[in-house]
Structure 1
Amino acid sequence: MFTRLHHVQLAMPVAQEQRARDFFAGVLGMTEIDKPPALVSRGGAWFRSGGLEIHLGVERDFEPARKAHPGILVDDIDGIAGTLRAAGQEVSWDNDFPGFRRFYAQDPFGNRLEFLEQMV
């Protein structure tokens, strides 16, 4: 019935698209993708890497998601953690998920992000 997750949407404050680009494209190395023309006027930005898309949508009364989060599978968790630290982002490791190494970080708006790498 289900085949895969197409995207995750996170919220962001009004007029902060450049901060989103600086983080998701500049720090994480994702590629910004064009929004459909009918959605451009709503603001926000969309990014893709591998099979993952993250859509950032504008919320006028924005509050970051501090508990809800995307779980992003990666193949070089130490590299991602190092990249985030080098960009001034805090990385919080958590060893409570058997079979995975994982940590939490935040996007520039305070939304929680989880990065996981399956242990072999």
Structure 2
Amino acid sequence: MITALDHVQLAAPPGSEPALRAYYGEALGMTEIPKPPTLAARGGLWFGCGPVQLHLGIEPGFRPSRKAHPGLRVVDIHTFAARLTAHGAPVLWNEELPAHHRFYSEDPVGNRLEFLEPMGYHPIG
């Protein structure tokens, strides 16, 4: 029985770690997670934010997928979109999903990411 999604792995080209670190760490506000030493030798980066983890693995001959993507829920999506725009990331709004605000963006190597927030969602706190 599946109980949770542990992480999503995206691919990236060799040598892209500095750009990915800036995007996932600074623009998205995720925390870099140290990789185990046996895996760190392969390159790539791991990031987390609460229960969400994204792993970026190095892939020679990398080509970004135009369709596959993780969908990430955010709070205050309009402010989050402005944050990405301020970091130079593209923001393409798409209101086709009922009862959600959402947009698509790309990381520095072209991986597609979806950001969404249910309409009427107000976190407690």
Q: Tell me the TM-score normalised to structure 2 length.
A: 0.93
1:105 aligns with 2:116: no
For 2:51, the equivalent position in structure 1 comes to 51
CA distance in 1, matches of 2:76, 2:54: 19
For 1:38, the equivalent position in structure 2 comes to 38
Matched residue SS, 1:42: coil
CA distance in 2, matches of 1:57, 1:38: 14
For 1:8, the equivalent position in structure 2 comes to 8
1:66 aligns with 2:66: yes
Task: Kindly state the Cα deviation for residue 16 of structure 1 after the two structures are TM-superposed.
Answer: 1.3
Structure 1 consecutive aligned stretches of length 4 or more whose deviation exceeds 3 Å = none
Task: Kindly state the Cα deviation for residue 69 of structure 1 after the two structures are TM-superposed.
Answer: 0.1
CA distance in 2, matches of 1:65, 1:42: 21
Q: Give per-residue Cα distances to partners, 1:59-84, cap 9 Å, x unaligned.
A: 00100121100000111211110011
Task: Kindly state the Cα deviation for residue 92 of structure 1 after the two structures are TM-superposed.
Answer: 0.5
Aligned length: 120
Q: Decide whether the 8 Å contact of 2:11 with 2:62 is kept in 1.
A: yes
- Percent identity among equivalent residues? 52
CA distance in 1, matches of 2:92, 2:68: 16
Task: Kindly state the Cα deviation for residue 45 of structure 1 after the two structures are TM-superposed.
Answer: 0.2
For 2:123, the equivalent position in structure 1 comes to none
The CA RMSD over aligned residues, in Å, is: 0.8
Task: Kindly state the Cα deviation for residue 41 of structure 1 after the two structures are TM-superposed.
Answer: 0.8
Matched residue SS, 1:23: helix
1:47 corresponds to which letter in structure 2? F
Task: Kindly state the Cα deviation for residue 55 of structure 1 after the two structures are TM-superposed.
Answer: 0.2
Where structure 2 has 5 or more consecutive residues not aligned to the other structure, the ranges are: 121-125
Q: Tell me the TM-score normalised to structure 1 length.
A: 0.96
For 1:90, the equivalent position in structure 2 comes to 90
1:92 corresponds to which letter in structure 2? L
Q: Decide whether the 8 Å contact of 2:16 with 2:109 is kept in 1.
A: no
Q: Give per-residue Cα distances to partners, 1:34-70, cap 9 Å, x unaligned.
A: 1111101110000001111000000001001211000
Q: Give per-residue Cα distances to partners, 1:80-116, cap 9 Å, x unaligned.
A: 1001111111100111101211000000000100000
Task: Kindly state the Cα deviation for residue 33 of structure 1 after the two structures are TM-superposed.
Answer: 0.3
